[in-house]
Structure 1
Amino acid sequence: MPHRKFQSSDIRPRYSKGQISVLGINSVYPRIPWNAAWWSAVFPGFGHMFIGKYLHGFVLVIWELVVNNLANLNRGIALSFLGRFEEAKAVLNQDWVLLYVAVYVFSIWDSYRSAVEINKSHVLSEIEDAPITPSDVSFFDIAILDKKHPWAGTVWSLLCPGLGQLYSGSTVVGTFVLAWWIFVCYKAVAVRSWLYSFLGDFNGAAAVVDWQWFLFLPSMYVFAIYQAYASVNENNILFDIEQIRYLRVRAANLAQLDTTDNDNVQIIATFEHSPFVEMVLHDIEKLGVEPAHIIALPLENLDAQPHVIDTLHRVDGSSILDGAMVSGTIFMVLGTIYGFVWYWGPVIWGLIGLVGGFFLGLIIELLLSKKKLRIAANRKNEVVIQVTCSTSVQDQLVSVLKKRKANALAVMPKPKMLA
């Protein structure tokens, strides 16, 4: 969060924090460059989508699907892991493999480089305290920056990749993810293979599936889940940043009046960042309280501890699921490959690899974490509102604060008059 005073409304910031439109929500959220490089190594294009460069990501994902398939690269990788090296060399199309290498390496390098640039841009946008427009309305859609549940996005992507992105407000990204998931599942005969696996016909599942296309699915599935979680999480943080700036601008524009009248009372309440903050300011003004008598300021978080999960209001982007998702991806791919020769088949072993790898990565993250770790982020009082009003509206004001989900409130006692 910025610690300096916001810029004048007459000055246009040179660096943007984010953009909300009917096409989706995007922001210069800082990401670890090595994580972006890892996702690009898993599947070219994922690293760029991970950091918000969606157009580059779409191009590279389509390129991966086309060139990898023409080179029979996935089949060659699977045969190599199974120790059938001569078959692997025979199945590969060398012309397309040689074309594949340069773009694959570029994808990893460029995602790392772009993540570094975005992190710099984030710092500069914080220095300028750049504003964000919290909504966009067009004929086709209404896009509103609002708080959402990160785990709701995760669950929807677990059920079908792409739905979590649509839930987060990323219309174009969600449509793209949903479309290529359906296409790859069709080419891999994945749905029939899943059906046979859950019916116990493991030999039938392994026989009908197309190895080349099926090996795209593990990394696609895990990335869609994690990207949906991260997208909702980042949008929630963007909401906090936008509301903090709004409250600072509001406080600076309103001259605070001297309110020493004995007929007045002061009430202090704390809130989390949410639309209720702005709603309660409007409700208080409707009671007849002057805007200058309402002080609303964000609180700075002094102690940020790592935690495992983010929730709707307990969100700061410091969760440690990155390593768990990386490990889950690796073991899901390995489980899928060896599942072609093991009894339970590629689907069951792929799912076992995903769950086992996820918890293994999470355990490693927990062991490596040097700070005291919490399962979930602490519930924070993020905004403090101080209202000076007439005693005649005190009860109504308290009722409004409770209605708008204040975490706590206090009515300040009047100082005793000295004789």
Structure 2
Amino acid sequence: MHFPGFGHFLLNKYFRGLSLFVWEIYINQTTKLNQAMVYSFTGNFDAAKEILDLKMVLMYIPVYLFAIWDSYRTTVDLNNIHTLAKREDAPFNSFSIGSFEINYLDKRNPIMAILWSLTIPSVGQLYAHRIILAGFTLIWTAIFMYNSHFLEALIYLVNGNLNKSNAVLDAQWLLYLPSFYFFTIFDSYTSTVENNKLFEEEQRKYLRSHYQNFNFSLKKESKVNNMLILATFEHTTYLELAMTELEEYGVKNILAVPLNNRTEERKIFDNLHQSDGVSLISKGMILAFLFSTVGASRGFEMEWGPIIWGLIGAGGGFIIGFIIDLFMKKVMKSKQRLLKGKNSEVVLIVECDQLLKERVENTLWKQLALGVAELKQN
């Protein structure tokens, strides 16, 4: 609802999202809709009516409503496809090499994605491996910043020249920034969370198909001088690196068992090791979109100006949304998630000759095993 095309970008529907986004920019610039919003929020309704092109506004409304409906419909369809794919245990691609980019599935920290997005829009998408959206975001960030004179106004503001800062800003272009900026933060966060979940699911399937055929020879009557080494890991690429390195040593019997961890109440923030996609920032980001737009609009008629009031609105909106989510979390205590901290997600059992014991253990520790133990033949 904040910006046509954003819902489709979240669903990786790039062509449809880009078409709706460009249409929004075109129709908004033609009708001067953002400037009319500024007049409306400051109580100057006659100026808002005068500046609007009513013929073009009537063209805007159907496309805006279609964008909302289509993103909802597509989400429902994709959820149904996900359910069917999960039941059928369908494979998915975790690595691709193309003419322009090498892309792969890996775990990332959602909080780092937020922090990177707070610096420059598009950096968070790069961190989450969303290359196409990152390039698109960077281009439009430059366009919005240049035409709104935001950076110029920010320099004047930092140097204490508030009147000059307010004077150079272009309201029509400035009001694109709140929605655009906070969307990139939210998108990088949710993309990182979902990629982490995909990585864990893909690795579970890989371990079950490749490392659950075992024939251990560690028996009392056996004359083979073998031993068992046990280790625990998280779902990371280091686990696969450890197994491939052990195979290079000639170790053949490797058993990998993914665990279903004990759960407790949902925590506030997702992180590298805990990503279920439900935290306390979703409503905060949405209200930050709204309140920062209103704050920036009102700021043109207020003492501190649109930049400061936009930031105040964003902060206030985020805090209100955070409190709403926190209250809902308290009410819905039945929902669960993983325990806090680093959890043992995979148990690795390795049978090897006792002469290889030290080498195997060093490899496991080097590849960030959470714990290592040995079991010898008595």
Q: Compared with structure 1, are the counterparts of its residues 355 and 169 closer, same or farther at alpha carbon in structure 2 (3 Å cutoff)? A: same
2:42 is matched with which residue: 56, 69, 82? 82
Deviation at 1:74, TM superposition (A): 1.2
Q: List aligned pairs for 1:137-156, cutoff 5 A.
A: 137-156=97-116
Deviation at 1:91, TM superposition (A): 1.2
CA contact (8 A) 1:189 1:208 kept: yes
Residues 339-377 of structure 1 show CA distances to partners (whole Å, capped at 9, x for unaligned) of 111111111111122222212211221111132899995
1:357 is matched with which residue: 304, 310, 317? 317
| 2:254 is the alignment partner of 1:284 | no
| RMSD of aligned Cα (Å) | 2.1
2:215 is matched with which residue: 239, 256, 270? 256
CA contact (8 A) 1:270 1:408 kept: yes
| 2:108 is the alignment partner of 1:129 | no
Q: Which residue of 1 aligns with 2:343?
A: 380
Q: List aligned pairs for 1:239-278, cutoff 5 A.
A: 239-251=199-211, 254-260=213-219, 261=222, 263-278=225-240
| 2:351 is the alignment partner of 1:391 | no
**Separation of aligned partners in 1, 2:129 and 2:342:** 25
CA contact (8 A) 1:156 1:163 kept: yes
**Separation of aligned partners in 2, 1:275 and 1:333:** 42
Residues 31-76 of structure 1 show CA distances to partners (whole Å, capped at 9, x for unaligned) of xxxxxxxxxx111111111222222111111111100111111111
**What amino acid sits opposite 2:363 in the alignment?**
V
Q: Secondary structure at the match of 2:211?
A: helix
Query: What runs of 5+ residues in structure 1 fail to find an aligned partner?
Result: 1-40
Q: Secondary structure at the match of 2:277?
A: coil
CA contact (8 A) 2:117 2:185 kept: yes
TM-score by length of 1: 0.83
CA contact (8 A) 2:231 2:364 kept: yes
**Separation of aligned partners in 2, 1:69 and 1:305:** 47
**What amino acid sits opposite 2:310 in the alignment?**
G
| 2:369 is the alignment partner of 1:410 | no
Aligned residues: 372
**What amino acid sits opposite 1:265 in the alignment?**
M
Higher mean C-alpha displacement, 353-362 vs 365-374? 365-374
Q: List aligned pairs for 1:3-402, cutoff 5 A.
A: 41-251=1-211, 254-260=213-219, 261=222, 263-290=225-252, 293-303=253-263, 305-369=265-329, 370-371=332-333, 377-402=340-365
Deviation at 1:202, TM superposition (A): 2.0
Q: Which residue of 2 aligns with 1:16?
A: none
CA contact (8 A) 1:197 1:345 kept: no
CA contact (8 A) 2:227 2:353 kept: yes
**Separation of aligned partners in 2, 1:197 and 1:49:** 33
**Separation of aligned partners in 2, 1:380 and 1:55:** 40
CA contact (8 A) 2:162 2:305 kept: yes
Q: Secondary structure at the match of 2:351?
A: strand
Q: Compared with structure 1, are the counterparts of its residues 256 and 375 closer, same or farther at alpha carbon in structure 2 (3 Å cutoff)? A: closer
CA contact (8 A) 1:309 1:377 kept: no
Q: Which runs of 4+ in 1 moved over 4 A?
A: 372-377
Q: Secondary structure at the match of 1:309?
A: coil
**Separation of aligned partners in 2, 1:367 and 1:374:** 17
**What amino acid sits opposite 1:407 in the alignment?**
L
Q: Secondary structure at the match of 1:285?
A: helix
CA contact (8 A) 1:311 1:376 kept: no
Q: Compared with structure 1, are the counterparts of its residues 375 and 224 closer, same or farther at alpha carbon in structure 2 (3 Å cutoff)? A: farther
Deviation at 1:258, TM superposition (A): 4.6
**Separation of aligned partners in 1, 2:344 and 2:277:** 17
Higher mean C-alpha displacement, 198-207 vs 85-94? 198-207
Report sequence identity in percent: 38
TM-score by length of 2: 0.92
Q: Which residue of 2 aligns with 1:15?
A: none
**Separation of aligned partners in 2, 1:159 and 1:50:** 20
**Separation of aligned partners in 1, 2:189 and 2:83:** 23
**Separation of aligned partners in 2, 1:304 and 1:66:** 49
**Separation of aligned partners in 1, 2:85 and 2:65:** 30
Q: Compared with structure 1, are the counterparts of its residues 344 and 373 closer, same or farther at alpha carbon in structure 2 (3 Å cutoff)? A: farther
**Separation of aligned partners in 1, 2:278 and 2:264:** 8
